[in-house]
Amino acid sequence: MVQVDLKRKDEIGELGAAFEEMRHRLSQSIRLQLQYEENRKELISNISHDLKTPITGIKACIEGIRDGIADTDAKREKYMRMIAKKTEEMDRLIDELLLFSKLDLKRLPFHLEPLDLAAYLRDCVEELRLDPRMEGITITFTGAHDRPVPVMADREKLRRVIMNIMDNSLKYMDKDQKEIRVELFDDESEATVRIQDNGPGIESAALPQIFDRFYRADPSRSTATGGSGLGLAIVKQIVEGQGGRVWAESRMGEGTSISFTLPKSKHGGEQS
């Protein structure tokens, strides 16, 4: 094989440099394709595992009813409630999987509009206080001091971001007095929302991975807490799709905060 001196300044040197660049791009393309295939296999494996968990529970309940184990009205009612609960879990898993796949493939459009983030968050917190899942949890909102904070955001997807962060906090809260604080910080070019809980916290080594798909900071508790492992990955996709950033901070034993930014709007934000 003839080696071409890539430092040559003539046409042969230019041709050799062009071929070298083509070789590099091809090699990079192959690596990306292999990584994509590996990610696809991992995705299918995780989907299969996560869907199997509620299906197994549903099958066990059906067999219990069919085999006569549920031999009283009270037992049958208990089994039916369990089937309903597992069905809801599976529906939620499928919904998150479909949403994440659309976000990942850039097939979900964002409808950005001017929005008063302060009013929007106040309304969200009021709604959350009425949510049965939030019973026994103190939720507070601070920031903006009754001033409008105009941002550009997709109203519907922003609610999904907030709910996914809240759901993540709910799964792991372990104290008798449970607290979630929502804080809003207004800067010149962007607004920052911080949602902080007083849960067990996350080890510092795990923080960079919590926005990865299917990552769970405490794998041993995955079955007990449920969820797809996609909640915070969806948060990251939506926030970045709106031109923002997202990150997490945590102290073991004290809690975790997840913050995200949204670009400011040059126009006054609409009421929520």
- Among the listed residues 269, 257, 251, 238, the one whose alpha carbon sits nearest the alpha carbon of residue 120: 269
Report the predicted TM-score, pTM, of the whole model to 2 decimal places.
0.72
The enclosing H or E element of 186 equals strand 178-186
Tell me the three state secondary structure of residue 195: strand
For position 223, what pLDDT does the model report? 43
For position 31, what pLDDT does the model report? 78
The DSSP code sequence of 50-62 is HHHHHHHHHHHHH
d(CA 229, CA 220): 13
For position 104, what pLDDT does the model report? 81
The enclosing H or E element of 24 equals helix 11-66
Q: In one letter, which amino acid is 63?
A: E
For position 246, what pLDDT does the model report? 96
The four Cα atoms 220, 225, 227, 232 give a dihedral, to 10 degrees, of -80
The pLDDT tens digits of the residues spanning 144-159 come to 777 899 999 999 999 9
Q: Which CATH class is domain 113-263?
A: alpha beta
d(CA 260, CA 193): 5
Q: Which stretches in the chain have pLDDT values below 50? A: 4, 220-225
Q: Domain locations in the chain?
A: 11-104, 113-263
What letter does residue 141 receive in the DSSP assignment? E
Q: Do 137 and 87 meet the contact criterion of CB atoms below 8 Å apart? A: no
Tell me the three state secondary structure of residue 246: strand
CA 168 to chain CA centroid, nearest Å: 9
For position 224, what pLDDT does the model report? 45
For position 28, what pLDDT does the model report? 78
Q: What is the architecture of the domain spanning 11-104? A: Orthogonal Bundle (1.10)
Q: Do 152 and 242 meet the contact criterion of CB atoms below 8 Å apart? A: yes
